Amino acid sequence: MKNPISYGILLTAFGYMLFTAHDSAVKLLVVTIPVWQVLFLRSCAILAGCFVYEGPSLVRKVARSPVVKPMIVRSMLLLVAWISYYSAAQYLQLAEVTTLYYAAPIVGTILATIVLREKVTVARWMAVGVGFCGVVIASNPVGVSISWPVYLALQAAVLWATGMVLLRKTALHEKSHIQMAVSNIMLILMTGTMAILHWKTPTTYELILLCSTGIFAGIGQLALFEGMRQAPVSVLAPFEYTSLVWAFGLGYLIWGDVPKINTVLGAALILSAGLIIIFSERRRRVSVV
């Protein structure tokens, strides 16, 4: 890539594509396998990959890492975010919980200006707004009122956005695979007891899906961590919306869900949000040169 921001955008979009594939596999799994077990085994697979890459020195590097404390906090935030999201999804329609959850890029952009002191341009705010409008049109939520599940979905969005801001703060101070190791060690510790208590021996088909969640999440995390090292949160936030486009595609391929006209229009707006960022950042580079 010609510049770090373009590289960060590419990695982030790729990461969210893999996270969408991961979520599809999880959706197939949680019908028969407890979510605690899925999260536990997924984190075990990612940690094993980090160990293979780094070798025995991984233990020493993790113990001496300067980002251990913020990564522990981030892991706790993400676990609560996932629990909140899955709990809300039990009571809300998919369109409702999706739209509420995609408040995360807006919250992330706001936090980036406060916590990271990022200068958010008009184009970046426009991209976040256009992307969110695309999500609302594509998801077509109706009748959403304030309730406990709605609060949980919004809580998940705020916690996820906070976790992304923490990731940006730590990304510049530690290698991505070390951060991944710290994060997944914490998730293993936090989900291990519940996974054992609710353990279900997987079938061959389920075992293949469990392995795929580790692969998708591991590569996706690496792409997201590296993307955060290259570009500001306010630049990358709108690209989280692209996962909805991938979700519609996988929904059609796996479950035969045919996108409606509002879905197509919403997807076009989501892609437009990404193009706004790409062209605005290109113009900024040209003006600087």
pLDDT in tens, 85-94: 878 877 776 6
Between residues 257 and 221, the one the model is more confident about: 221
Q: Under the phi-then-psi rule, with left for phi > 0, alpha for psi from -120 to 50, and beta for the rest, what region is 143?
A: left
Lookup: tokens for 203? 């079938």
Q: Under the phi-then-psi rule, with left for phi > 0, alpha for psi from -120 to 50, and beta for the rest, what region is 141?
A: beta
pLDDT in tens, 62-91: 988 888 888 889 889 988 998 888 788 777
Query: Exposed, middle or buried by CB within 10 Å (0-12, 13-18, 19+), for 109?
Result: buried
Q: φ, ψ for residue 146 (rounded to 5)?
A: -65, 125
Predicted TM-score of the model (pTM): 0.79
Cβ 238 vs Cβ 12: under 8 Å: no
Split at pLDDT 50, 70, 90, the class of 145 is: low
Q: Which region among 49-58, 94-103, 173-182, 249-258 has the lowest average model confidence (pLDDT)?
A: 94-103
pLDDT in tens, 246-257: 877 887 788 787
